[in-house]
Amino acid sequence: MHKLQGKKVYLAALKRADCRKLWEDDEYDFENKTDMLHIGGSVEGSDKWFDEIQDLQGKVHIRLGIFVSDGTVIGDVALQDIDNKNRSCSIGIGIAKIENRGKGYGSEALRFILEYGFNNAGMERITASTLELNLPMRAVFEKTGFTLEGVGRKAAYFGGKKYDMYYYGLLSDEYNNSDMNRKKFEKE
């Protein structure tokens, strides 16, 4: 199995059992409501998700699992909606259990997938979006070099209220020429 190894996590292909574990472990943080609540998950749903990943892998997206050193899958990260003509895509990331959030696992995984996207997959632009409420994710995007490109005012209905969506972008030359990128793994 090929993997991208870091200090805290490594990225590798997801297996069916990994998708089931992520589905089972997915926890909603009612204290920090930052994402839509998805209910009604099932083993069948996780199997369907795995099959979809396999069908679209390398064509529409590149989705990898986020694993800690003992081999436990804790999340997933993806280059999504790949547009090879325009050499662009969006990014998605999720950590299943609340106890694994805020520990730097997502930041390290994000840096790995950006490195892969820009320097292996040939992307020239990677975008990201998040709810205005998701302050931790906004901070991670900004820390990894993304630029806030716009705000979709009241673009998301969530928990009975309308919220803004924050839209970010990162260009290949910005990523590859930044001090942050040159020193990205020195501190870890």
Round to whole Å and give the CA distance between 155 and 162. 7
- Residue 81 — left, alpha, or beta (φ > 0 → left; ψ -120 to 50 → alpha)? left
Give the three-state DSSP class for 50: helix
On whether residue 58 sits in a domain, the answer given is yes
Helix axes 105-119, 135-143, angle to 10 degrees: 40
* Bridge partners for 128 per DSSP: 168
> What is the secondary structure of 82-150 as a DSSP string?
EETTTTEEEEEEEESSGGGTTSSHHHHHHHHHHHHHHHTS--SEEEEEEETT-HHHHHHHHHTT-EEEE
On whether residue 112 sits in a domain, the answer given is yes
On whether residue 188 sits in a domain, the answer given is no
On whether residue 132 sits in a domain, the answer given is yes
61-112 residue pLDDT tens: 999 999 999 999 999 999 999 999 999 999 999 999 999 999 999 999 999 9
On whether residue 187 sits in a domain, the answer given is no
Domain count of the fold of the chain: 1
- Residue 90 makes CB contacts below 8 A (sequence gap 6+) with 79, 80, 81, 126, 127, 128, 129
Read off the CATH number of the domain in which 156 is found. Answer: 3.40.630.30
Residue type, position 57, single letter = Q
Of 147, 82, 166, 140, give the one whose Cα is nearest residue 116: 82
CA 179 to chain centre: 22
pTM beyond 0.85, yes or no? yes
* CA dihedral sign of residues 32, 37, 43, 49: negative
Round to whole Å and give the CA distance between 183 and 89. 24
25-59 residue pLDDT tens: 887 777 776 666 555 566 778 888 898 999 999 88
Per-residue confidence band for 3, with pLDDT thresholds at 50, 70 and 90: confident
On whether residue 143 sits in a domain, the answer given is yes
Question: Residue 178: pLDDT above 50?
Answer: yes
Q: Which domain holds residue 59?
A: 3-182
